[in-house]
Amino acid sequence: KGVKRALLPGRFQPPHWGHFRLIKWVLERFDEVIIVIGSAQKSHSFSNPFTAGERIEMLRLGLKDVGIDLSRVFMIPVTDIETNFVWPRWVEMFVPRFDCVVSGNPLVARLFFEYGYCVITPPMFDRERYSATVVRRLMLKGDAEWRSLVPPSVAEYIESIGGVERLRRVTEV
């Protein structure tokens, strides 16, 4: 039945080069990708500094930077729920039909596997370096190196909304 779609859940706080390489990898194997922007209700904390809307903006900018055809990409925010067992069904309510789930997150992989989906564990692209936690820690330290871990347009966007300042204000040191 026509197009093959992969579901790619993540928090994207913020999206970095590892995410964009992963999205490219997925689109080499599937016709379309559904990016689930998880924990959509969260923002303004150290682990989740950016709103779902801001994460959509950043993902779009980065995808344009790397030349990905946006007509092959869905971006859908999904809030968290208390009940892990029911979460795959919850996600299904918000997204178009999909064939497989791509996730390196053991909980996400397990929940969708038990629910009956094909689950693919993707390669990690330079995980030590390309990690959103590392990006946020560098921002907090005032180390400009964080900019090299995200596409230039994403770095500019974060600065335009005062993202680094926000992270500092909401993080107790």
Rounded distance between C-alpha atoms, residue 128 and residue 110, angstroms: 24
Does 118 sit near ligand NMN (CB under 6 A)?
Answer: no
Rounded distance between C-alpha atoms, residue 79 and residue 134, angstroms: 24
Is-contact 31 5, C-beta < 8 A? yes
Our CB check for ligand NMN shows the closer of 68 and 111 to be: 111
Our CB check for ligand NMN shows the closer of 90 and 138 to be: 90
As given in the structure block, the two tokens for residue 115 are 């629910």
Site residues for ligand NMN, 28-87, by CB under 6 A, read 38-39, 80-81, 84, 87
Helix axes 17-27, 52-65, angle to 10 degrees: 70
Stretch that binds ligand NMN, among 8-16, 24-32, 54-62, 138-146 (CB under 6 A): 8-16
Q: Which ranges in 28-79 belong to alpha helices (H)?
A: 52-65
Token match 């999904």: residue?
78
Our CB check for ligand NMN shows the closer of 87 and 146 to be: 87
Element (H, E) at 153: helix 152-160
Our CB check for ligand NMN shows the closer of 118 and 144 to be: 118
Taking the complex as a whole, the smallest distance from the CB of residue 45 to ligand NMN amounts, in Å, to 13
Which residues are near ligand NMN by CB under 6 A? 9-11, 38-39, 80-81, 84, 87, 105, 107-108, 111
